[in-house]
């Protein structure tokens, strides 16, 4: 029981504290600096969208305002079976429409002329809804630009986003570069503040990984790759922002982080919004390992330590927590020391579950940390259930509720095909 207890403590401590500290020390002692270079390759901004008529105008405005030559930039909207009038709005605006990308010459001949005021906007209208991964594969295949920038319909980009990403790719050792997701705290709740704090922790870990060699994922809201390194991903993929960079790292290129390229979003204001987003992300982690078990083999995955420590190990924390509690209860029967630890143990659970219900206690840092920790591991269990129960987790599903109408955008490093808003778009509808 003592071995189980202290082994569990060490494992949990390594996952959440030890590994980030290890990466920080490694980056300080033997980091590999990125050497950006100024260059202006051809760039395609790819936005996969499903029924985003309400937000596509603002997104286009953000893309068109990029500090980059219009003749070297193209915006490609890949519409995944949209039927809300978004496609018609884009056509009325003058966007060149291509149904499924077939039957038309490579679009390179259609680039905006030198000195043009705005880049060309192209609509790839896919009539059937297939999910984000399938649309990404087709959109990249259709593009012939040297650099592909991926971004979602929800987030606003800063004007320097594309140029900053491209400049980082000027280092020929870099194959993919992640932008930074910034949360604007408009009308922030206590829960949204906790989400923001967790995201800052996550970005810290990714920065250290990138400084060592590569991070195991990118910010789905904004990242760029060298098109030549793109490898099609399975159409059912949930986490394109992990699968794509991992495939690039497998080819020997680095996956790094560029804080000057920014996407702006709102954090989840309520636990239910964050729960849907988190469950989908964690289901995607289970799916990724099931589709590519080689990620768990050190001789096949050049980022094995990072992947196992950052992604895989977190999925096993809930059963480890159960073993820790069972061992603590057993040991407390014969030891005053372990009885005291059990009281602290149960107090931490109480703080995380009951503390947030108290107005004063909900502001205490220890309560926020306990709540975030328990919430995360509860979502791991729901994510496992989602992975085994829902084969269509990669598709948009919309179930309207009476609460619909707001635009409470969900938070997260990964913003794939499931778009968690207050209209209850869920991961396959069963999360």
pLDDT tens digits, one per residue of 304-340: 999 999 999 999 999 999 999 999 999 999 999 999 9
Cβ(321)–Cβ(11) under 8 Å?
no
Q: 53-62, 221-230, 416-425: which has the minimum mean pLDDT?
A: 416-425
- The H or E element spanning position 393 is none
Domain range summary for the chain, segments of one domain joined by +: 43-266
The reported pLDDT for the residue numbered 394 is 59
CA-CA distances (angstroms) from residue 232 to 122, 237, 295, 304, 395? 21, 10, 17, 21, 18
Collect all residues with Cβ–Cβ distance below 8 Å to 424 and sequence separation of at least 6: 276, 398, 399, 400, 401, 403, 404
- 323, 8 Cβ separation under 8 angstroms: yes
- What is the structure's pLDDT at 331? 95
Task: Report residue 69: phi and psi, to 5°.
Answer: -55, 130
3: Cβ contacts below 8 Å, ≥ 6 apart: none
**Residue 134, pLDDT above cutoff 70:** yes
Give residue 372's pLDDT: 80
Please check whether residue 298 is in contact with residue 398, taking contact to mean a CB–CB distance below 8 angstroms.
no
Exposure of 270 by Cβ count < 10 A (0-12 exposed, 13-18 middle, 19+ buried)?
middle
Q: Do residues 408 and 421 make contact, with C-beta atoms less than 8 angstroms apart?
A: yes
In angstroms, how far is CA 386 from the centroid of its own chain? 18
Quick one: which of 68, 69, 377, 422 has its CA closest to 198?
377
Would you say 202 and 310 are in contact if contact means Cβ atoms under 8 Å apart?
no
CA-to-CA distance for 103 and 66, rounded, in angstroms? 30
- DSSP annotation string for 167-230: HHHTSTTEEEEEEEEEE--TT--HHHHHHHHHHHHHHHHHHHHHHHS--S---TTEEEEEGGG-
Residue 194 reports pLDDT greater than 80:
no
Phi/psi at 388 (5° precision): -80, -25
Of 367, 26, 381, give the one whose Cα is nearest residue 205. 26
| 335-354 pLDDT tens trace | 999 999 999 999 888 877 77
Query: Where is 366: in which H helix or E strand?
Result: helix 365-389
The closest of 248, 42, 63 to 161, measured between CA atoms, is: 63
* Ramachandran bin of 131, using left for φ above 0, alpha for ψ from -120 to 50, beta for the remaining angles: left
Contact 151, 258 (CB under 8 A): no
Strand partners, 77: 47, 123
What is the C-alpha to C-alpha distance for residues 247 and 45, in angstroms, rounded to an integer?
20
pLDDT at 50 over 70: yes
Sorting pLDDT into bands at 50, 70 and 90, what band is 193? low
Instruction: Kindly state the average pLDDT of the residues 63-92.
Output: 93
Pairing of strands 222-226, 147-151: antiparallel
Counting other chains too, the contacts that 303-308 makes at CB distance below 8 Å and 24 or more residues apart are 303/213, 303/214, 303/216, 303/246, 303/249, 306/23, 306/209, 306/212, 306/214, 306/215, 306/216, 307/216, 307/246
State residue 298's pLDDT score.
93
CA-CA distances (angstroms) from residue 428 to 183, 391, 418, 419, 425?
26, 8, 8, 11, 9
d(CA 248, CA 120): 28
pLDDT in tens, 391-405: 666 565 543 333 333
Residue 88: φ, ψ to 5°: -65, -40
**107 has pLDDT over 60:** no
Print the SS3 string covering 239-266.
CHHHHHHHHHHHCCCEEEEEEEEEEEEC
Is domain 43-266 annotated with CATH 3.90.550.10?
yes
């Amino acid at each position: 029981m003592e071995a189980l207890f202290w082994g569990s403590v060490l494992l949990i401590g390594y996952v959440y504290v030890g590994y980030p500290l290890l990466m920080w020390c490694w980056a300080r002692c033997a980091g590999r600096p990125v050497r950006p270079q100024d260059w202006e390759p051809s760039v395609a901004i790819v936005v996969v969208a499903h029924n985003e008529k309400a937000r596509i105008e603002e997104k286009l405005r953000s893309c068109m305002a990029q500090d980059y030559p219009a003749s070297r930039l193209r915006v490609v909207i890949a519409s995944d079976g949209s039927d809300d009038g978004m496609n018609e709005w884009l056509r009325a605006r003058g966007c060149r429409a291509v149904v499924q990308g077939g039957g038309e010459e490579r679009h390179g001949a259609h680039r905006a002329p030198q000195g043009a005021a705005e880049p060309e906007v192209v609509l790839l209208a896919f009539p059937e809804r297939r999910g984000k991964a399938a649309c990404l594969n087709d959109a990249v295949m259709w593009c012939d630009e040297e650099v592909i920038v991926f971004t979602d319909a929800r987030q606003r980009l800063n004007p320097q986003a594309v140029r900053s990403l491209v400049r980082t790719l000027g280092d020929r050792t870099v194959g993919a570069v992640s932008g930074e997701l910034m949360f604007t705290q408009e009308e922030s709740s206590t829960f949204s503040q906790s989400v923001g704090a967790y995201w800052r922790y996550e970005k810290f870990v990714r920065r250290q990984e990138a400084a060592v060699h590569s991070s195991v994922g990118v910010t789905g809201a904004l990242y760029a790759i060298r098109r030549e390194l793109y490898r099609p991903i399975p159409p059912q993929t949930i986490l394109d922002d992990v699968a794509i960079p991992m495939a690039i790292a497998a080819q020997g290129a680095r996956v790094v982080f560029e804080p000057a390229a920014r996407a702006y979003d709102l954090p989840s204001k309520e636990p239910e919004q964050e729960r849907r987003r988190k469950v989908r992300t964690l289901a995607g982690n289970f799916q990724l390992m099931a589709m590519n078990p080689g990620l768990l083999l050190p001789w096949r995955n050049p980022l094995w330590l990072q992947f196992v420590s950052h992604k895989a190990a977190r999925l096993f924390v809930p059963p480890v927590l159960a073993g820790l509690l069972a061992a603590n209860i057993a040991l407390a029967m014969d030891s005053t020391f372990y009885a005291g630890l059990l009281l602290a143990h149960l107090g931490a659970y109480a703080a995380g579950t009951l503390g947030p219900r108290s107005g004063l206690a909900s502001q205490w840092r220890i309560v926020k940390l306990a709540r975030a920790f328990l919430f995360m591991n509860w979502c791991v269990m729901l994510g496992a259930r989602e992975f085994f129960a829902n084969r269509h987790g990669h598709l948009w599903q919309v179930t309207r509720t009476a609460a619909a109408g707001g635009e409470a955008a969900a938070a997260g490093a990964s913003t794939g095909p499931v778009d968690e808003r207050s209209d209850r778009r869920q991961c396959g509808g069963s999360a």
